[in-house]
Structure 1
Amino acid sequence: MEEKKLDLNSIIGFVLIFGILIWIMYQNKPSEATIAADKAKKEQLAKASATKAKVLEAKILATPTAVVAGDSTQLVKLQKTLGGFAYSASLPSAKNDFTTIENEVVKLKIANKGGYIVEATLKNFEKFKKGSGQLVELIKDNNTNLNVQLHTSDNRTLNTKDLYFEPTLTKVGEDQILSMKLKAGANEFLEYKYILKPNDYMIGFDLRSQGLNKVLNTAKPLDMEWSMKTYRNEKSIAYENRYTEVYFEHEEGKIDYVGQGQDKKEDSEKATYVAFKQHFFTSILLTNKPFGSAKLQSNNLVNDEAIDTTFTKQFKANIPLAFDNGELDYKMSWYFGPTDYKILKSYDKNLEKVISLGWGIFGWINKFIFIPLFGFLSSYISYGIAIIIFTILIKIAMSPITFKSFLSQAKMKVLRPEITELGEKFKKDPMKKQQETMKLYNKAGVNPMAGCIPALIQIPFMYASFQFFPSAFELRQKSFLWADDLSSFDEVIKLPFHVPLYGDHISLFPVLASIAIFFYMKMTSGDQQMAAPQQDGMPDMAKMMKMMIYISPIMMLFFFNSYGAGLSLYNFISNLITIGIMIVIKRYFIDSDKIHAQIQENKLKEPKKQGKFQQKLQQVMEQAEAEKAKSKKK
């Protein structure tokens, strides 16, 4: 069979046909003028359609009864445009109007457009300082937004913040109930229900739908977004911002937070509340039915304290709302109120956990000692005096530990000459020197760790105070002596310049606390040096202690200058009391001669059985000595 081949004539034919097709396409290409005319025509039609839709919507808003009763064709067209929620646009409430509900402590203003709270004012608290006349407003001037994205069955997306709700305010007993309905028909709606009880910061918030399963796509959850730019309410924006962050409860009682800084994000599974916590005021959304996977975000808005003086943080929470049998049904609550431990704990919903009291033992000290004790004292006396009495009681309770520490230092001071002698005797054998020193301690009945353990026991109380005083809402705007607000810095001199790490003011309580710690360290440094013999190869302890005498007060001066005056007052009184206790113990309870005689008497007795720590240390040193001897033989 003859094989078919592509000859030259065929190739020429294909080229000619291809060229003719290109020429035809070129000849039929529309001119630039034609393209411009078509584009202008399309834009004109689009503008005409938009204008017609706006006129139609305005007509419906202006004459709702006529439209609903007679112009059903136009209403159907508008319903298609608005995804079935045109019914709300035909109601008298479809205008920028507001409904106000209030009780003794909070005042709320709810907008028809969007159906959410556009103003939340706390009636018993003032901004910045007492007597300013400016009430704390957690929500105002569009700093917050609540929006639910509605996905319609015809693949449209509507935002509730752009749609109008119909308000109905009723009263049941002393409770005010405000129903905000976004209607898609007479019996088809999305409802926000606000329930305000007397003298309560907690507002009931029910979110439910009725008859929307034909209008909305219920196959997936709706997206609810709650966002807020938190207003500055305190004198020091930096101090306030340090304690402003997002907290949330999830997975059956676990508390977590998003963190400080820029673009901080966290995902929360089964969240039961989300708190936009400020230093002394908090906005919380709670739910009885846990949310799905909520996405939380925080951004710091204070980059320059001299310029960024209005807002502290930008918070955002994206929360999924799941359908149940084609409808939404969430029993929720809003809390707009003070970050007060007692008030938050009274709701029995774990809300007090948004206040950072420290983890582990630090939190226990605050919850079971500091908060009850200070609460009891401050209920009878002024807050400044309460801090002083509180400090005295804490230091008296710790005085036995302080006594043991000083007694241990005194014993070590008496043994110093003998320890120094051992150091000279076994100068070339450090291991032997350590062994003999341990034997001396054991014979004399002295525990070298006895001075360290009391100091370690006091550290948790010191750290707990650093968490307690900045979180004590009771101190807000309470004055004492020259400090007009114990929760903020006690400025006595305003500097005409800014000192890095220090600020543009001088606070007096930190200055007094620094002076007190200077004298305390000056008085104790000599005993500590005498109690701590020089070790070969170790830094000169005398020089280090001498440096710390000056470094510690300076560090305190810089660190506390912008902190709350209550904490500085506590540290000042604490150091004064410690100095006083130390003087009393040294003068009336510690006699170096008696201690020396007791030590000498102990040496004549049978050595005390070593503790487990000493035994272990002795074994380690003996093993090291044996290894050293073995290596020398080799």
Structure 2
Amino acid sequence: MEQKKFDLNSIIGFALIFVIILWMMYNNRENEVKEQAKAKTEIAADKKAKAATTKEVANTIKDTTVADSDKVLKLQETLGSFAYSATLPSAKEDFTTIENEFIKLKIANKGGFIAEATLKNYKKIDKNSNELVALIKNNNVNFNLQLQTKDNRVLNTKDLFFEPTVSKVGENQILSMKLKAGANSYLEYKYVLKPKEYMLDFDIQSQALNSTLNTSNVADLQWDLKTYRNEKSISYENRYAEIYFENEGKVDYAGLGKQEDETLEKATFIAYKQHFFSSILLSQTPIENVKLSSTDLVNDEKIDTVFTKNFKSTLPLAFKNGELDYKMNWYLGPTDYRILNKYDKNIEEIVPLGWGIFGWINKFIFVPLFGFLSSFMGLGIAIIIFTILIKIAMSPITFKSFLSQAKMKVLRPEITEIGEKFSKDPMKKQQETMKLYNKAGVNPMAGCVPALIQIPFMYASFQFFPSAIELRQKGFLWADDLSSFDEIYKLPFHIPVYGDHISLFPILASIAIFFYMKMTSGDQMMAQPQQEGMPDMAKIMKIMIYLSPIMMLLFFNNYGSGLSLYNFISNLITIGIMIVIKRYFINSDKIHAQIQENKTKPKTESKFQRKMREMMEQAEAQKQLQKKKK
């Protein structure tokens, strides 16, 4: 058997393999130790960095000399990046004031919104009051921007602290309120107040927040306002308190119900109107899917005497390129048509001057004329002069109306005779009556047309005077405030519709309208013959003679005394014009002679008269045909 020999090469090979294995094991262990050491170093560095950040944030807290790590960490857990804003010196309940000649604004650090807005030139309730009109005060407002972060936090700006910075550019005061997520990342509300203006610029913009906020969703801007009572009559003021808005270029309002809700496709302004004062938020960029609501807070005007309405809006603000950028305006001031009109933003449409022709009369006649008169004379005298001028301008129309009534009155005996002659043939009676009108040169509609022309002016006055802020707290005779009722006696009880007081101007206006209707209705009843198949106009007119003054007395007792004064003077002047026209311009004998002369002259039928005659003849022919068939 062959004996195995010792192989030196094999031994050397195994030795080398063993050495290599030992070297690899040692090297792997050394790398593992280095990795562990590196990991420990990184963890330590991260802890050190966090500790440094916590210490830095904590050191910025006012009146804190020792790092309050727990407090800071809690802020960071709750607010995320916006915890930075809570560590700044401005993170306290404080306010920044900016003001001009017209308005004083206090902006809160917490929430960054207007916490007080006081109008310097207007007093609340009464001209002798020491309290100025404040549209915003004592937490009657909620202005909040709801933000969503990328780590699913929902933050409300009303709960967060902004950092104020005041500066001036020329005479303009600029207040920047920044909600900071870092030294160079923030949400900013920027207010710019100009001299002698109720309108201020208001911008909402963000910087470097696209990495913090969830910009795929909108940021909901919530604006709520409980409107304070500012006038003597809370029911009268509340009647004109409502939300106006511009939606897709059209101005409209939400209504005056107990609860009104609206959804707007594209809104460019929202106006919280409080009769004589308004808070208006305008946006240069239309805001989509805006939700509005209005709630009436006056259930009992004896008890609910502080607030009138609760207005709410939710405006979804969309992000552009990951940031917010909205150029806006605030208007906080009087609901004065002339002031609002100068801004050329369509906001003057919130003044309810009426639609169509009524609005045109107010905008182009009443507003400029009354504005001119009130600029250099007392408001009571201005109303009287204004009324006289309107009545003088309308006097030719009034004269034609009375002349037509006089002619109809002269023809009444002949019309009555025709009625008796053809009492059994209404169609024939109508034909003969039309022939008489044609021969005499009398148009039975001539008296109606002038009256119809005057109606738009009358209706326009009902819209104009309740909207005229010039009358507010301006007295005349016994009326302390021409924009409110002129109470001469306080009743110890409340009468439904009428109220708990007696106003004198509505009584005078009711007396004047009674005598005016007594005079005009008598002439009309004498002039217009009773037509078969028609209501008894004489009875209706007699009822209206008494009903109209009663309605005037009841409903106008709580209206502004300026409107009652206008109606009193208007009816008084009309009565005077009627007396003058009847005495000096209308002679029944001359009218009768002229009518008889007109009968002898050949007459050419107008197209309308010919058409009416042909229709009557056709009707008469059909009637005769039906009789023959029977």
The normalised TM-score by structure 1 is 0.88
Q: Which residue of 2 aligns with 1:197?
A: 194
Number of aligned residue pairs: give it.
Answer: 577
Q: Which residue of 2 aligns with 1:619?
A: 614
For 1:58 and 1:102, the matched residues in 2 are separated by 39
SS of 1:185 mapped into structure 2: coil
For 2:372 and 2:331, the matched residues in 1 are separated by 26
Which one of the candidate residues 376, 388, 394 is aligned to 2:390? Answer: 394
Partner AA of 2:476 in structure 1 = F
- Identical amino acids, percent of aligned pairs: 74
Which one of the candidate residues 88, 104, 129 is aligned to 1:107? Answer: 104
Matched, 1:164 2:161: yes
Shift, 1:538, TM fit: 3.0
Correspondences of 1:23-422 after superposition (within 5 Å): 64=61, 75=72, 78-251=75-248, 253-422=249-418
For 2:68 and 2:380, the matched residues in 1 are separated by 72
Q: Which residue of 2 aligns with 1:433?
A: 429
Shift, 1:67, TM fit: 9.2
Distance 1:628 1:115, change over 3 A: same
Partner AA of 1:435 in structure 2 = Q
Partner AA of 1:234 in structure 2 = E
For 1:265 and 1:388, the matched residues in 2 are separated by 41
For 2:354 and 2:171, the matched residues in 1 are separated by 40
Which one of the candidate residues 552, 557, 561 is aligned to 2:557? Answer: 561
Deviates more, 1:561-570 or 1:62-71: 62-71
Q: Which residue of 1 aligns with 2:628?
A: 633
Shift, 1:73, TM fit: 9.6
Shift, 1:323, TM fit: 0.7
Contact 1:208 1:328 survives alignment (8 Å)? yes
Partner AA of 2:618 in structure 1 = Q
Shift, 1:77, TM fit: 6.2
Shift, 1:65, TM fit: 8.2
**1:208-240 per-position Cα deviation (integer Å, ceiling 9, x unaligned):** 001111111000211101010000000011111
Partner AA of 2:479 in structure 1 = A
Shift, 1:288, TM fit: 1.4
Partner AA of 1:625 in structure 2 = E
SS of 1:566 mapped into structure 2: helix
Contact 1:60 1:67 survives alignment (8 Å)? no
**1:180-225 per-position Cα deviation (integer Å, ceiling 9, x unaligned):** 1111111111111111112211111111001111111000211101
Contact 2:388 2:573 survives alignment (8 Å)? yes
Shift, 1:76, TM fit: 6.1
Distance 1:130 1:605, change over 3 A: same
Shift, 1:59, TM fit: 12
Shift, 1:68, TM fit: 12
Shift, 1:523, TM fit: 1.9
SS of 2:436 mapped into structure 1: helix
SS of 1:109 mapped into structure 2: strand
For 1:522 and 1:495, the matched residues in 2 are separated by 31
Correspondences of 1:601-616 after superposition (within 5 Å): 601-612=597-608, 614-616=609-611
Contact 2:58 2:69 survives alignment (8 Å)? no
For 2:537 and 2:208, the matched residues in 1 are separated by 80
Which one of the candidate residues 442, 450, 459 is aligned to 1:463? Answer: 459
Matched, 1:574 2:570: yes
Shift, 1:261, TM fit: 1.3
Distance 1:375 1:66, change over 3 A: closer
Correspondences of 1:520-535 after superposition (within 5 Å): 520-535=516-531
Q: Which residue of 1 aligns with 2:5?
A: none
Partner AA of 2:624 in structure 1 = A
SS of 2:180 mapped into structure 1: strand
Q: Which residue of 2 aligns with 1:505?
A: 501
Q: Which residue of 1 aligns with 2:472?
A: 476
Stretches of structure 1 lacking an aligned partner (at least 5 in a row): 1-55
Shift, 1:74, TM fit: 7.7
Distance 1:132 1:537, change over 3 A: same
SS of 2:181 mapped into structure 1: strand
**1:20-48 per-position Cα deviation (integer Å, ceiling 9, x unaligned):** xxxxxxxxxxxxxxxxxxxxxxxxxxxxx
Q: Which residue of 2 aligns with 1:25?
A: none
Contact 2:118 2:132 survives alignment (8 Å)? yes
Shift, 1:294, TM fit: 0.9
**1:478-536 per-position Cα deviation (integer Å, ceiling 9, x unaligned):** 11000010011111111111111100011101100111111112222221111111122
Distance 1:548 1:108, change over 3 A: same
The normalised TM-score by structure 2 is 0.89
Shift, 1:69, TM fit: 11
SS of 1:177 mapped into structure 2: strand
Deviates more, 1:431-440 or 1:539-548: 539-548
Contact 2:369 2:386 survives alignment (8 Å)? yes
SS of 1:397 mapped into structure 2: helix
Contact 1:194 1:205 survives alignment (8 Å)? yes
SS of 1:82 mapped into structure 2: helix
For 1:89 and 1:536, the matched residues in 2 are separated by 86
Shift, 1:605, TM fit: 0.9
Distance 1:119 1:73, change over 3 A: closer
For 2:467 and 2:448, the matched residues in 1 are separated by 30
Distance 1:552 1:65, change over 3 A: closer
Partner AA of 1:400 in structure 2 = P
SS of 2:81 mapped into structure 1: coil
For 1:586 and 1:530, the matched residues in 2 are separated by 15
For 1:425 and 1:514, the matched residues in 2 are separated by 42
Distance 1:62 1:143, change over 3 A: farther
For 1:221 and 1:471, the matched residues in 2 are separated by 38
Distance 1:93 1:423, change over 3 A: same
Partner AA of 1:185 in structure 2 = G
Shift, 1:141, TM fit: 0.9
Which structure: larger Rg? 2
Q: Which residue of 2 aligns with 1:22?
A: none
Distance 1:583 1:77, change over 3 A: closer
Contact 1:225 1:319 survives alignment (8 Å)? yes
Contact 1:487 1:564 survives alignment (8 Å)? yes
Contact 1:99 1:167 survives alignment (8 Å)? yes
Contact 2:58 2:72 survives alignment (8 Å)? no
Contact 2:84 2:180 survives alignment (8 Å)? yes
For 1:233 and 1:562, the matched residues in 2 are separated by 16
For 2:370 and 2:55, the matched residues in 1 are separated by 62
Distance 1:241 1:77, change over 3 A: closer
Stretches of structure 2 lacking an aligned partner (at least 5 in a row): 1-52
SS of 1:363 mapped into structure 2: helix
Shift, 1:148, TM fit: 0.6
Q: Which residue of 2 aligns with 1:552?
A: 548
For 2:234 and 2:218, the matched residues in 1 are separated by 39
For 2:297 and 2:566, the matched residues in 1 are separated by 32
For 1:78 and 1:539, the matched residues in 2 are separated by 81
